[in-house]
């Protein structure tokens, strides 16, 4: 079916979205249940993601990218998530976090070295979180010391998405704990750098095919030219990149909600009880009418935040709202979808229970719901106090 917000897309955007959606349904869908059961990505899907340009959407064509917009990346993340949020977050982190940071903060030499690889075969990871620094992101303890023209990093990172598949890691460490957030610096670390290792993969509730691993840095040698941006400016890179990444998570949760809703509606229009389809009962109609309204509202919020970002306008509050609301809608929609299917919705024979498990992460990563509320409240307070 056509959703109202989609009528606002240009013909090129519609074609792009439909192409990604078709790929997800034809190429990804057959692998989803097995990947979830095994807790691992089917790596045979990676070449196709690169060939389609989905792993370098905003990267200029001179570096092998698709020359697309941030909004295009959001459309891709949404479309993929309707089939599998795990594949969706792989593409999301690659585009809205890792490549976003490189495009904005890397120097010409770094772009020339890494962008062609990132658009053709390399997956990337964004490594900020640690055991002691989750929501308090800048309480990190990973240390970076300059010795004889080389940076030596020590510490551990946790909850790093794409880590099992990645060849390049955007790692944040402090050069001087006494400086607080002003000592934080961002480094581009290749997988085979001495002293760097990917640790255990987490056994997760949802998005199980998406790898989430620990990173271990033990006297990890990083060339001085692999500092991203300026020394001591890593906090700025982290904050600004995460603000944009939250729109990507909003898109992932939006796609998840739409996928769960579509499946449930098809089922309810086929399944009959008491001589009529489940979708015909008024009590059920009131439920799915509200769900459809919330999904459409989430879509408008996500699209608006992405459009504002592309237009170079302030979007901090809108990104937080989109991420928060879309994650809430995804969880409610997936939960109701399980109920709409009844007993079979509770089994692994149908995809809804997986989407229900996948939805929970939306309220947690890239800023918890409480942090989003705090961001929104501060923005509103600033708007009114400035009057």
- From the candidates 78, 294, 331, 366, which is the catalytic residue? 366
The residues, ordered by sequence, that sit 6+ positions from 130 with a Cβ below 8 Å of its Cβ are: 139, 140, 141, 142, 155, 156, 157, 158
Phi, psi (rounded to 5 degrees) for 130: -140, 175
Q: Count CB neighbours of 312 within 10 A.
A: 7
Question: For residue 370, what are its two tokens?
Answer: 């409480």
Pairing of strands 123-127, 166-174: parallel
Under 8 Å between Cβ of 74 and 244: no
Question: For residue 325, what are its two tokens?
Answer: 């609301």
Question: For residue 284, what are its two tokens?
Answer: 């059920």
Phi, psi (rounded to 5 degrees) for 238: -65, -50
Phi, psi (rounded to 5 degrees) for 334: -65, -40
Alpha carbon distance 326, 34 (integer Å)? 27
Alpha carbon distance 206, 357 (integer Å)? 5
> 366 catalytic, yes or no?
yes
**Residue 376 CA from chain centroid, whole number:** 20
Question: For residue 383, what are its two tokens?
Answer: 């708007």
The residues carrying an active-site annotation are 366
């Amino acid at each position: 079916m056509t959703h109202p917000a989609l009528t606002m897309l240009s013909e090129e955007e519609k074609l792009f979205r439909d192409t990604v959606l078709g790929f997800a349904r034809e190429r990804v869908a057959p692998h989803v249940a097995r990947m979830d059961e095994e807790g691992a990505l089917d790596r045979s899907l990676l070449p196709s993601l690169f060939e389609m340009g989905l792993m370098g959407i905003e990267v200029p064509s001179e570096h092998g990218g698709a020359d697309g917009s941030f909004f295009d990346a959001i459309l891709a993340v949404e479309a993929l998530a309707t089939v599998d949020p795990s594949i969706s977050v792989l593409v999301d982190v690659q585009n809205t976090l890792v490549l976003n940071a490189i495009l904005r903060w890397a120097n010409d030499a770094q772009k020339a070295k890494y962008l062609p690889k990132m658009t053709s075969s390399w997956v990337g990871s964004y490594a900020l979180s640690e055991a002691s620094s989750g929501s308090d992101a800048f309480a990190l303890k990973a240390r970076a010391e300059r010795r004889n023209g080389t940076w030596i990093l020590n510490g551990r990172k946790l909850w790093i998405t794409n880590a099992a598949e990645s060849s390049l890691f955007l790692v944040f460490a402090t050069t001087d704990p006494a400086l607080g957030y002003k000592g934080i610096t961002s480094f581009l670390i290749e997988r085979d750098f001495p002293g760097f290792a990917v640790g255990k993969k987490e056994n997760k509730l949802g998005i199980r095919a998406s790898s989430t691993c620990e990173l271990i840095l033990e006297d990890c040698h990083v060339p001085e030219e692999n500092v991203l941006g300026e020394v001591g400016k890593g906090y700025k890179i982290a904050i600004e990149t995460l603000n944009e990444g939250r729109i990507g998570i909003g898109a992932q949760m939006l796609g998840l909600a739409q996928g769960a809703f579509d499946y449930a509606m098809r089922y309810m229009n086929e399944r009959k009880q008491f001589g009529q389809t489940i979708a015909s009962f008024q009590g059920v109609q009131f439920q799915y009418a509200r769900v459809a309204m919330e999904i459409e509202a989430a879509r408008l919020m996500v699209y608006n935040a992405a459009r504002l970002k592309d237009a170079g306008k302030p979007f901090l509050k809108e990104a937080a709202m989109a991420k928060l609301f879309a994650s809430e809608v995804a969880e409610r929609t997936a939960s109701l979808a399980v109920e709409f299917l009844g007993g079979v919705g509770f089994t692994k024979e149908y995809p809804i229970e997986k989407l229900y498990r996948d939805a929970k992460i939306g309220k947690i990563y890239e800023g918890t719901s409480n942090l989003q509320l705090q961001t929104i409240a501060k923005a509103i307070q600033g708007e009114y106090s400035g009057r």
